[in-house]
């Protein structure tokens, strides 16, 4: 089973499954960062913020959780 702990972190932060994707992908949108896409792979989560052209790879659900908390609390909107 791919990333059960990652999935729990994403659902807790309001991410929803992207059923249009062929991959196991979750998405959300926040005003301060835009669309956030997380693709789950075996033993890793790949976070993509397309508006900022940023990609982060996490191998720990705890690190992913901390990153998402920090991202959500970021009060500086993207321009």
Summarize pLDDT for 64-73 with one digit per residue, the tens: 999 999 998 8
| Residue 79, in any domain of the structure | no
Flag whether 10 is in a domain: yes
Residue 73 pLDDT:
83
How many domains in the chain?
1
Is residue 14 in a domain? yes
User: What pLDDT is stored for residue 75 in this prediction?
Assistant: 55
pLDDT single digits (tens) 19-53: 999 999 999 999 888 999 999 999 999 999 988 89
43: left (phi over 0), alpha (psi -120 to 50) or beta: left
Cα 79 to Cα 72: distance, rounded to the nearest angstrom:
16
- For residue 46, is it within any domain? yes
In this structure, is residue 69 part of a structural domain? yes
pLDDT at 76 exceeding the cut of 80:
no
In a domain, 12, yes or no: yes
pTM here is 0.88
Residue 67, domain extent:
4-73
With respect to residue 41, please indicate whether it lies within any of the assigned structural domains.
yes
């Amino acid at each position: 089973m791919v990333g059960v702990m990652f999935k729990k972190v994403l659902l807790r932060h309001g991410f929803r499954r992207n059923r249009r994707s062929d991959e196991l992908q979750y998405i959300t949108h926040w005003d301060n960062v835009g669309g956030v896409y997380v693709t789950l792979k075996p033993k890793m989560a790949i976070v993509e913020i397309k508006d900022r052209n940023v990609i982060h790879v996490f191998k720990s659900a705890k690190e992913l959780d901390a990153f998402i908390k920090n991202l959500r609390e970021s009060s500086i909107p993207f321009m």
